[in-house]
């Protein structure tokens, strides 16, 4: 799996939404990052070397595409975080987070649904 920096995650998130040219990416990321076209090109070159993105030459400009599936990247990143910060223990992470932040009824119901689905998968 490709390791992405925080900045590369921002670029990938934009590309997962839709493939884009450098001009489109610059406009997409301008408000949240303030990055110039040259900064984004540097990220794209680095990400291309890692195998995270590819491009197709269009009539006027290159269009960049993600080579990494969003869900695969999220699972890899979450697993690495969980291992690094909580010794791989989901329960410890949830308990730590609940000690700092209250959950809405909707979030609690969502967690129950996730646990029920995990229980069904485990029983199969």
Would you say 23 and 37 are in contact if contact means Cβ atoms under 8 Å apart? yes
Q: Give the pair of three-digit tokens for residue 104.
A: 């809405």
Let me know whether 96 and 81 are in one domain.
no
Same domain flag for 99 and 52: no
Report the percent of the chain where pLDDT is more than 70: 98
Does 5 share its domain with 39? yes
Torsion angle, alpha carbons of 93, 95, 96, 98, to 10: 120
108 and 53 in a common domain? no
Indicate if the pLDDT at residue 97 is higher than 90: no
The domain that contains 42 carries what CATH number? 1.10.10.10
* Dihedral over Cα of 80, 46, 31, 22: its sign: negative
CB 16 within 8 A of CB 70: yes
8 Å CB contact between 80 and 11: no
Judge if 31 and 68 occupy the same domain.
yes
Answer whether 81's CB lies under 8 Å from 90's CB.
Answer: no
pLDDT tens column, 77-88:
999 999 999 999
Question: Mean of the pLDDT values across residues 90-115?
Answer: 88
Range of the domain at 67: 1-88
pLDDT tens profile 38-69: 999 999 999 999 999 999 999 999 999 999 99
Question: Cα–Cα distance between 11 and 5 in angstroms, integer?
Answer: 10
Helix (H, G, I), strand (E, B) or coil at 99: coil
- pLDDT tops 90 at residue 11: yes
- Stated as kind and residue range, the H or E segment containing 65 is strand 62-66
- Contact in structure between 44 and 35 (CB atoms under 8 Å): no
pLDDT at 121: 72
């Amino acid at each position: 799996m490709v390791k992405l920096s925080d900045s590369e995650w921002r670029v990938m998130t934009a590309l997962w939404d839709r493939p884009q040219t450098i001009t489109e990416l610059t406009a997409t990321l301008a408000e949240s990052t303030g990055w110039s076209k040259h900064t984004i090109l540097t990220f794209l070159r680095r990400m291309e070397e890692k195998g995270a993105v590819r491009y197709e030459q269009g009539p006027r400009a290159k269009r960049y595409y993600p080579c990494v599936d969003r869900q695969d990247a999220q699972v890899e990143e979450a697993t690495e975080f969980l291992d690094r910060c909580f010794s791989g223990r989901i329960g410890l992470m949830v308990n730590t987070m609940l000690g700092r932040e209250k959950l809405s009824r909707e979030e609690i119901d969502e967690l129950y649904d996730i646990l029920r689905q995990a229980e069904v998968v485990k029983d199969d």
